[in-house]
Amino acid sequence: MSNKRDFLVELGTEELPPKSLLALADAFANGIAAGLGAAKLKHGAIERFATPRRLAVRVRNLAGEQPEQTIRRTGPALSASYDANGQPTKAALGFAASCGVALESLGQAESPKGTVLLFETQRAGEQTVTLLPGIVQQSLQDLPIAKRMRWGAGAAEFVRPVHWVVMLFGKDVIDTEILGVRSGRETRGHRFHAPKPLNLTSPAAYVQTLQARGFVLADIDARRETIKQGVLAAAESAGGTAVVEPALLDEVTALVEWPAPIAGRFDERFLTLPAEVPIATMQDHQRYFPVRDAQGKLLATFIAVANIASKDPDKVRAGNERVIRPRLADAAFFWETDRKQSLASRRDALKNVTFQAQLGSYFDKVERVKSLSALITRALGASAEETQAAQRAAELCKCDLLTLLVGEFPELQGTMGKYYAEHDEGRAVANAIEEHYLPRFAGDQLPATLSGTVVAIADKLDTIVGIFAIGQKPTGTKDPFALRRAALGVLRLILEQRRDLNLLDLISAALKQLPSALQNEQTVVEVYDYMMERLRAYYLEGASTTAITTEMFDAVLANRPTHPLDFHARLQALSEFIALPDAGALAAANKRIANILRKSNVAATQTFSAALAEQSEEKNLHEAIEALRSGVERSLDERNYSAALVRLATLRPAVDAFFDKVMVMAENPTVRDNRLALLGVVRSLFSRTADLSRLPG
């Protein structure tokens, strides 16, 4: 058998869920990689392929067999293996029998237990062809599939019915059964352009065979780029620039195997609608790409991506134009109908719409949001106009959920509320209604107005606290109320807009607005801890410009700061402190001090007495502390933690001298407690910023 060959596995299915295709493809490849790693099979590059009707993985230069393995087992100690007469004990004989060898063939080795019996042998590695079916099966079993389905009379389960399986190791078929289908070398091309089976001669021929004979672009990344360039070119030919949203591009890529972009048009009268309406119609309902002119104005043009190279493109164009026309006509009707009723007139009807069974209706929710918004505007010193706009926006922020347009286009909630409010409520309230949903996703824009920020924080916090209070906090991958996104949104609003808010107070206030049966104070702690974990992700995943490590974050979190801006200031100070020459030694000293104080029983209220100091190093350290104490405390009160730590860093010589010359745990309890009290002062001054004992040092 050749030492190295390419390996290919392809699973042919009915149309896979487009929004899951990329995740499935990545997970399949990662599963294969993990299986090969666990089997210690050496290989080259791993490539994943995916189209609406297939998932495939190709492994380059896969070893034909596992490397030879050394089996090594240690047995009982030599002293327990033979009795006083030199006869083998039951323990020694049993170990030899378990290894399948005679006692005399065992060796000896040194171990922490002393000299022990040793069994060591070489075992030939298994052939790759015998291992691959299990690796593929396990990878498929581990795919992130929320709900599996069955088909036919078999017991196999997968996200969609499986129709063919290709498994090639070099030019040879690996004969096995995957999900009830026998493997072979036959793949399928495009459903219409190339419906007959296609023989694959080798894994290396996979992509080219499908493209040249099957009218399939199997490489998902190449297909995405082909679609993007085709859409841009079609829009340019139509006199504009295509709006290519990444999420829509991914979805279209997952819907077609042989992309054919084509431009179409719709009636210009629909351009009188708010631009978001025809865009939502095109993108979300039809998977079309909108087109704008050089000034950014929406054109009555769209780019569709067909999954077939038609001999008569005009018919394809006409068909798409025929489909979008009634969609836009419906949207225009909804727009006109909705505007016959003011947004405020829908407010009472929110009482009939349940937000969550235990948390009441949307009317109850907006009342809570209004109350919390008032608290936030006071904390931020908002003007009377900003406060009034925030209060009114809070009252009306969910009313557009009852409109026909939002009923048809849920993704336009907030946006349509803005348009409907502009006529009756004015621009400030309208903008705040739209902005209170921001940020909608990671990296999204933040509200431009204070009123919008206030309502956004209040709405998100009400949801987070309410869902925690009813015991439905996120677990694993399940987050039906999008609390992770809401928590990160609150933190971004506070940090990136420099809003100095007490998060703990806001969580408590939100809890007090819930039904009394749900007001458990433990919820405040749980929500704070949850928010801090989101804050950890914010820093460690690079959303912040400050470079932060896990140890730095934990050092600040030990103080449980209530203001996120204060948390940020401490982290920045710690980042600057770590760059100082004395930082490592001081972190180590803090670690030592923390360990000493933890093991001692000295009272926290114990104060240091200079009169009881027996050595000059004690007095010197105390004098150094007193010399800088007032300046440090002033800096701490002003949240100038960097200045405080820079001053405290000058204590290093005195701290080093103290530990070099002074025996802290003196025999005299009075002297010992006095020295512990001095260390307590050092510890408390440093820990006012962060617990430096948690830093490496």
- Can you give the pLDDT at residue 2? 47
Read off the tokens for 151: 């088909």
In a domain, 556, yes or no: no
- Can you give the pLDDT at residue 671? 87
Residue-by-residue DSSP string for 353-401: SEEETTTEEHHHHHHHHHHHHHHHHHHHT--HHHHHHHHHHHHHTTGGG
Q: Is the dihedral of CA 575, 577, 579, 585 positive or negative?
A: negative
User: Average pLDDT, stretch 246-261?
Assistant: 96
Q: Which CATH number is 27's domain given?
A: 3.30.70.260
Question: 535 and 636 share a domain?
Answer: no
CB distance 662 to 617 below 8 Å: yes
Question: 635 and 502 share a domain?
Answer: no
> Which residues 6+ apart lie within 8 Å of 374 measured at CB?
387, 390, 391
Which tens digit of pLDDT belongs to each residue from 97-124?
998 889 888 888 888 778 888 888 877 7
Q: Residue 15 has what DSSP assignment?
A: P
In a domain, 229, yes or no: yes
Q: Is the pLDDT of residue 134 over 80?
A: yes
CB distance 250 to 218 below 8 Å: no
- Can you give the pLDDT at residue 493? 97
Question: 370 and 513 share a domain?
Answer: yes
How many CB atoms are located within 10 Å of the residue 148 CB? 12
Question: 197 and 242 share a domain?
Answer: no
Question: 374 and 512 share a domain?
Answer: yes
Which tens digit of pLDDT belongs to each residue from 561-576?
999 999 999 999 999 8
In a domain, 563, yes or no: no
- Can you give the pLDDT at residue 594? 85
Which tens digit of pLDDT belongs to each residue from 497-548?
999 999 999 999 999 999 999 999 999 999 999 999 999 999 998 766 667 8
- Domain's final residue, options 149, 181, 214: 214
Question: 9 and 83 share a domain?
Answer: no
Question: Could you tell me where the beta strands, DSSP code E, fall in 411-501?
Answer: none
Place of tokens 């820079």: 646
Question: 30 and 110 share a domain?
Answer: no
- Can you give the pLDDT at residue 485? 95
In a domain, 646, yes or no: yes
User: Average pLDDT, stretch 170-190?
Assistant: 96
CB distance 387 to 412 below 8 Å: no
- Can you give the pLDDT at residue 544? 66
Q: Which of 61-70, 175-184, 363-372, 526-535 has the lowest mean pLDDT?
A: 61-70
Question: Can you give the three-state secondary structure of 55-117, one letter per residue?
Answer: EEEEEEEEECECCCEEEEEEEEEHHHHECCCCCECHHHHHHHHHHCCCHHHCEEEEECCEEEE
Q: Is the pLDDT of residue 215 over 90?
A: yes
- Domain's final residue, options 301, 336, 371: 336
In a domain, 557, yes or no: no
User: Average pLDDT, stretch 32-51?
Assistant: 95
Question: 388 and 523 share a domain?
Answer: yes
CB distance 307 to 260 below 8 Å: yes
Percent residues over pLDDT 70 in the chain: 98
Which tens digit of pLDDT belongs to each residue from 286-329?
999 999 999 999 999 999 999 999 999 999 999 999 999 999 99
Q: Which CATH number is 394's domain given?
A: 1.10.3210
CB distance 419 to 430 below 8 Å: yes
- Can you give the pLDDT at residue 303? 98
Question: 283 and 205 share a domain?
Answer: no
- Can you give the pLDDT at residue 670? 87
| Residue 301, SS3 per DSSP | strand
Q: Which of 253-267, 330-344, 453-467, 530-544 has the lowest mean pLDDT?
A: 530-544
Q: Which of 127-136, 189-198, 580-589, 629-638 has the lowest mean pLDDT?
A: 580-589
Q: Is the pLDDT of residue 89 over 70?
A: yes
> Which residues 6+ apart lie within 8 Å of 631 measured at CB?
643, 647
CB distance 131 to 32 below 8 Å: no
Q: Domain containing 518: what range?
A: 344-545
- Can you give the pLDDT at residue 604? 57
- Can you give the pLDDT at residue 331? 96
Q: For residue 611, give Cα distances in angstroms to 122, 196, 268, 677.
A: 73, 98, 91, 13
Question: 62 and 75 share a domain?
Answer: no
What is the count of structural domains for the chain?
A: 5
Q: Which of 334-343, 492-501, 597-606 has the lowest mean pLDDT?
A: 597-606
- Can you give the pLDDT at residue 605? 59
CA separation for the pair 340, 336 (Å, rounded): 7
In a domain, 378, yes or no: yes
Q: Sorting pLDDT into bands at 50, 70 and 90, what band is 1?
A: very low
- Can you give the pLDDT at residue 697? 64
Place of tokens 């701290």: 655
Question: 194 and 228 share a domain?
Answer: no
Phi–psi pair at 215, nearest 5 degrees: 55, 45
User: Average pLDDT, stretch 127-150?
Assistant: 93
Q: Residue 439, preceding bond cis, omega within 30 degrees?
A: yes
Question: 19 and 91 share a domain?
Answer: no
Q: Which CATH number is 594's domain given?
A: 1.10.730
Return the exposure string of 189-203: e unless at least 16 CB atoms fall within 10 Å of the residue's CB, then b. bbbeebeeebebebb
In a domain, 306, yes or no: yes
- Domain's final residue, options 314, 336, 358: 336
| Higher pLDDT among residues 92 and 334, named by residue | 334
In a domain, 555, yes or no: no
Percent residues over pLDDT 90 in the chain: 73
How many CB atoms are located within 10 Å of the residue 587 CB? 21
Residue-by-residue DSSP string for 317-362: HHHHHHHHHHHHHHHHHHHHHHTTS-SGGGGGGGGGSEEETTTEEH
Q: For residue 57, give Cα distances in angstroms to 27, 202, 224.
A: 10, 13, 18
Query: Mean pLDDT score of the chain, rounded to an integer?
Result: 93
Q: Is the pLDDT of residue 597 over 80?
A: yes
Q: Is the pLDDT of residue 603 over 70?
A: no
